Structure 1
Amino acid sequence: MSRCHGARAASRKPASGRSRRSYRGADREALYAASGAVLPVGRVGEAEELALAYVYLMTNPYVTGQTIIVDGGGVQAG
């Protein structure tokens, strides 16, 4: 097992979320409702909720080599 002192690698795999830039030029609320209906949590994520994963990864130096999936259960739902 190799050691890289001080090196960290972590990532976040985001899903579509509600933001000012998503679904440009479309009926956003209808698209959010349709997208959220297929997720176990029943809605799309808010930008702030998705950003919390970044905050966690940046502030916890003990987490390394992980990918956090932030998708409202979409991967599990298939």
Structure 2
Amino acid sequence: MILLNLVSGKGGYQCPYCLKRFDVRYSLLRHIRVIHDPERHLYDCNGCGRRFAWKSAFLRHVNITCVNRGRRQTN
């Protein structure tokens, strides 16, 4: 169980892992789940090696920004 501390001032919720601050508790919980959860599936780009936590960001990258977008993706 992760303890979430409310700290005074801007960004009232602080990540216990990287000390990044969030104004909303839900944003902190989402950050911990996506960034710090080792069980979280990441989407790997076979074209350039970048990894993405969000499928939508991965697909946008593959379809628009990856320099090797002609290569087939396995995720």
Which structure exhibits the higher relative contact order, with contacts defined as CA atoms closer than 8 Å and separated by 6 or more residues?
Answer: 1
> Which TM-score applies when normalising by structure 2?
0.25
Task: Give the structure with the larger strand fraction.
Answer: 1
